[in-house]
Amino acid sequence: MTVAKNVKCCALNSDEGPHFEILPKAGLDVHPGNRSANFWNADELVEELQGCCSVIAGSEPYTAQVLKQLPDLRVIARTGVGFDAIDLAACDELGVVVTTTPGVNHHSVAEHTIAMLMGLARGFPNQDQRVRTENWKRIARPRVMDRTLGLVGLGRIGQAVATRAAGLGMKVIACEPYPEMDFVDKWGIELLELDDLFATADYVSLHNPLTEKSRKMMNAETFSKMKQGSVLINTARGALVDEEALVNALNSGHLSAAGLDVFDVEPLPVESPLTKMSNVMLSGHVAGLDIESQRDTLTMAAETIIALKNGEWPQMCIQNLSGVKDWSWDR
């Protein structure tokens, strides 16, 4: 096989799909990932990507240590919109393009967020567990209609959640530094500072990016500012939440429940206290995954790789190399 033609699929659920038809038509060889390997281990990831020009990437970490051992790598095509597991500075230095797939999975994340919200509102998973153990208990819970949902972030995903919440009869408030006012006005969303949102919302849902400033933004101090009995939902990035502080807030009763799709360490260790709590709903980083988004994400990732190979520069998808005008597929 020619080194410059190999594309490896490391993202989960990427071992089949439209990219296996799209990439070969452009002269690229696409290969499923070795699922017995641990891509979160630097040595195993390096071994997997030897001789690859591109990778269809998931959440595995692309550190400077990893990147410097992959001289053939030209493109990291991330299946999703997050790229915090990738050392962008190292990619800039080495001329590796980092791409994402914006605009294809926001409906999936929104549906998952609402599913968690409704499940927690109706007392799942505890209700399910009680029935399985013949320990029925009828508990009246607050209706979702007329409750307040606070969105931290009002981009594509936050907006998709907002419209669904409005359909449930919820009041929607949001904290967003760069709001689209036409959308805000159309849906009657109240914009608040973060502390005011925490004090007002019955449900707080995170849809903001992970930055050094936002890392562990949900901590003991911010949990104390949240409304008594409120609920936290995180389908964004695990590192936004201090999990130890969250466990304490749940145990104290200050928060009544939490829905988490993402975690500081993934997979979530089974010994985590979160796995033992009946008022916590967990899922394994799947909020952005439905049949439609999986198809469209893999299609966009493949088409972006091909565009770069052909000398194009799909700016909307590229997350690094700002101002670079002389990048070339051939070094």
pLDDT in tens, 292-308: 999 999 999 999 999 99
Which amino acid would we find at residue 112?
H
Q: Which DSSP state fits 315?
A: G
pLDDT of residue 331: 76
What residues contact 76, with CB distance under 8 A and at least 6 apart?
54, 55, 57, 62, 86, 91, 96, 97, 98, 99
Catalytic residue among 19, 74, 147, 237: 237
**Of 10, 11, 5, 21, which is closest to residue 302 (Cα–Cα)?**
21
Active-site annotation holds for 112? no
Active-site annotation holds for 221? no
Catalytic residue among 285, 292, 295, 331: 285
Q: Is 195 helix (H, G, I), strand (E, B) or coil?
A: helix
Per the CB < 8 A criterion, the answer to whether 28 and 54 are in contact is yes
pLDDT of residue 178: 96
For residues 309, 300, 259, 186, the Cα torsion angle rounded to the nearest 10 degrees is 120
Active-site annotation holds for 285? yes
Per the CB < 8 A criterion, the answer to whether 303 and 22 are in contact is yes
Catalytic residue among 266, 292, 312, 331: 266
d(CA 249, CA 266): 22
pTM of the model: 0.90
What the block records as the tokens of 253 is: 């009763």
Looking up tokens 């690229």 gives 28
**Of 8, 15, 21, which is closest to residue 47 (Cα–Cα)?**
8
| DSSP E strand stretches across 166-229 | 171-175, 190-191, 203-206
pLDDT of residue 325: 86
What residues contact 179, with CB distance under 8 A and at least 6 apart?
154, 191
Which residues of the chain fall short of a pLDDT of 70? 1-4
